[in-house]
Amino acid sequence: MDHSAAISKMTNKQNQTAAALTIFLLLVIAPFYTQENAGGTGGLGLPYNIPQWIISSWIISYALLLIVRSKTLIMPNGYYFFAAFPVAVMLSSILADIIDPITWLFRQFYILGGFLFLFSLFQFRLKQRSIETILFGLVLAIVLHSTIGLQQIIFPKEQWAWFLPSGDGVPRGMFEQINVQASYLATGMIISFYLISRPFFRSASLLTKTIFILSFGLSTYIIIFSGSRVGLLSIAFGLSLVFISRRKQLLTQKTMLVSLIIVSICASFLAQEGFDHTLDKTIRVTEGEYSTARLSMYSIGLDLARQEPLHGHGIGSFLRVWNLQATTFLEQHPSATLPRYATHPHNELLFWLIEGGMAVLSGILLLMLGIFIALIKCGFQRGVSYAAMALPIALHTQVELPFYTSAVHWFLWLFLIYMALRHNQKTTQIRISESARKLLQFFALFFAITVTYFMVHCARSQSDIFNYLYNKQVKPPYLQIAYDNLYFRPLADKVATRSLFFSSLKNNNKEKVLHYLLWAEDYVKSAPEPEIYSDLAKTATYLKTDKKACELVKEGAQMYPRYEELQEAVARCAVNGVN
């Protein structure tokens, strides 16, 4: 081997090591980041999502620098299947209205950023050893995540280290949502089972084997105790698939298999009250036609999809069209079970079908087809095992929106998909001029720095809003950081405006109450939230004969018929002669 070849080999090894460490940081360590926050249902409103995007931007930028330096682009075969989804989302946005531009913008970034991350992984030429190290890190992570969940069950009001307490004994872990925690732990359990079948495990130390047993026992306990049907179904199907596909390799580890069975039985016995909760939820499904909220929501969602089948109702339109349709549904089925307020239809495919129509759904179907083809090409043992590891998160998307809630799940799922795709890839030599090379290098650095700065600013904005709401010692200027942040500006504006509104009611300041009425009228056009209509009910009561306030309250009462406060405000408007 000549000197240049030796240097090239050493450089490639260094790149692989650096990439593996960065991916390890992303998937294993970063999810434990937290800070006090005002809460939220997903996105950058949850603290642990922020470092996910910081580190993923580093990975994307690093991959671009490697492409420029080596003048080589590595892509999976059938990459066009995976490009179809982001293209379809953009196409749908052109065909339909964009109700909320900020929601639309960040959703585009979310999807595009994920697929750039996926394609970036190919540029690092990761070896099987590096991938297994990352997967073992995930096994370690679920031990810690399960331990946090256990602490939240036993000591719900006690704060452990810097982690926030549960408060009610529900093991939400770092993810602040029970099913998100359950699907993550189920993924980790199936990864553990897969790793036991790998050659490296034959010489594993006693400590390593103990970690695997702990991961199984603790995860089983938390999943069963939580009563998560998604988690239980995932481990039942996922573990079965791994055993079927890698039975020969697993049976060489009989002692470990017996240990896992024993610890799982013990954990199941200790968490048996969770079985009762799961059984109750399952029985309710069979009690009647719309006996559970999800059955009602799926019916409403399909009705909405039929109304605009091609391009949907528009990105960001869900809340308004959903509540109007839900009102019609309740008139037809008054005994149906339905939540008072819903921000999504508890199904990823249905959500995209409502907002993006068949244009987006076709992109998702092509994505699924590309994954299916890749799994088949991997062969039975590999393909079925890879499918099993990706199953819990994929199954979770059919009952909730885990990708929107947790970027951890998004990047972990993409990494598992990469494991299947990397067995069928192609390398293309590209020509780059000197000026283009310098421009791309600058862009790579600029991208990483910009995303990092913005995400750090998001973390500061979270703290800014939290301090404004809960820290009575905070001094003006209020919300200055959050107002300067594109993502948090709408929330900061809402928080500040509502605070001024309640102060105006208390101080009998009619002028400022009228100002809030104008703000709320514009706000509910894109975000018809029940709390804003509740404020409008108070506004209508205060102003008594204001026609605009009564019209908005009537609109809210139609969208939220189960909110007694709104119905009472409509009645008061009628008494005051405003119809």
Q: What H or E segment, with its residue span, contains residue 317?
A: none
Q: Which distant-in-sequence residues (6+ apart) come within 8 Å of 552 by Cβ?
A: 517, 520, 521, 524, 533, 536, 540
Number of domains the chain is built from: 1
CATH number of the domain to which 506 belongs: 1.25.40
Give pLDDT, residue 22.
Answer: 95
Contacts of 570 (CB under 8 A, 6+ apart): 550, 553, 554, 557
User: Which pLDDT belongs to residue 278?
Assistant: 63
- Supply the mean pLDDT for the chain: 88
How far is the C-alpha of 23 from the C-alpha of 58, rounded, in Å? 10
Asked, for residue 479, whether it belongs to a domain, the answer is no
Residue 174 lies in a domain: no
Per the domain annotation, does 307 fall within a domain?
Answer: no
Domain-embedded: residue 227:
no
pLDDT, tens digit, for every residue of 196-211?
999 999 899 999 999 9
Which of these ranges, 170-174, 293-297, 489-493, 506-510, has the smallest mean pLDDT?
293-297
H helix or E strand, kind and range, residue 427: strand 425-429
Residue 579 is predicted with a pLDDT of: 64
487-534: pLDDT as tens digits:
999 999 999 999 999 999 999 999 999 999 999 999 988 888 989 999
Are the C-beta atoms of 338 and 560 separated by less than 8 Å? no
Residue 296's pLDDT is 86
Residue 513 lies in a domain: yes
Range of the domain at 547: 488-575
Residue 179 backbone zone (phi > 0: left; psi -120 to 50: alpha; other: beta): alpha
Percent above pLDDT 90 for the chain? 54
Cα(390)–Cα(31) distance, integer angstroms = 18
Return the residue matching tokens 């089925």.
Answer: 333
- Of the listed ranges 205-209, 218-222, 470-474, 536-540, the least confidently predicted one is 470-474
Q: What does the pLDDT average to over 49-77?
A: 95
Separation of first and last alpha carbons in the chain: 89
Residue at 497 is within a domain: yes
| pTM, two decimal places | 0.92
Q: Is residue 283 within 8 Å of 328, Cβ to Cβ?
A: no
Q: For residue 236, is it within any domain?
A: no
- Determine, yes or no, domain membership for 422: no
Task: Band the pLDDT of 397: cuts 50, 70, 90.
Answer: confident
Annotate 165-222 with DSSP letters as a single string: P-SSS---GGGTSHHHHHHHHHHHHHHHHHHHTSGGGGG--HHHHHHHHHHHHHHHHH
